[in-house]
Amino acid sequence: MSELQLFKIENFIGGDQNWFTDYWMKRGGCGAVTACDICIYFAMFFGEKNLYPYDLTKVTKQDYINFSAIMKPYLAPRIHGIDKLEIFIDGFNEYLHDKKEEKLRMRAVYSDCSLNCFKEDVRKQIDGKMPVPYLNLKHKNPRLRNYVWHWFWLAGYEEFENNFMVKVITYGRTHWLSLNQLWDSGYEQKGGIVLLDMDKEKQV
């Protein structure tokens, strides 16, 4: 088992788009929520404090809602959603550029690769203390209906003989889901993960 450090927003783990009063952000702000959470993670645990403009010693829901409004222009909800990894990467990169953050790099990995390759990428990221943004589109498994057409992030994994469980952060809570099931969507249009890398040579 391997897990990342987590942060609290009052009594919640990560943000929740249901907090938002903006109609479109409440309906489709999951990509922005994932980016906001990633920013807080790197600000809190990697010292990249330029990524989060509020108090890191006590992250509040109101500050988070205000932060989401800052993130919205970069990852605004749209009719078909942020349905490609590159849309998320491009928008988040614009935010990082505006904050003069040059150390964080991103790469898209779609789930049309083999399950073993997908697992290995997740394993390497978590072991390297990197959060893993995840895009899940349509899915054949009705038990995953709350995660359909949805962005969230992974903060841990545990391996079993016939399954690979991942710790999902979304809706202000942690959830353990099967990566085997997430990967096997049953649809041609695939989601996937974003691999993050912090350039150590540029770290102060």
CATH number at residue 136: 3.90.70
pLDDT tens, 165-191? 999 999 999 999 999 999 999 999 999
Domain count, the chain: 1
Identify whether the C-beta of residue 66 lies closer than 8 Å to the C-beta of residue 20.
Answer: no
Distance CA 94, CA 76 (A): 12
Confidence check: pLDDT of 204 > 60 = no
- What range defines the domain where residue 141 resides? 2-202
pLDDT tens, 65-78? 999 999 999 999 99
Distance CA 192, CA 87 (A): 12
Confidence check: pLDDT of 10 > 80 = yes
| pLDDT of amino acid 202 | 57
| pLDDT of amino acid 186 | 96
pTM of the predicted protein model: 0.96
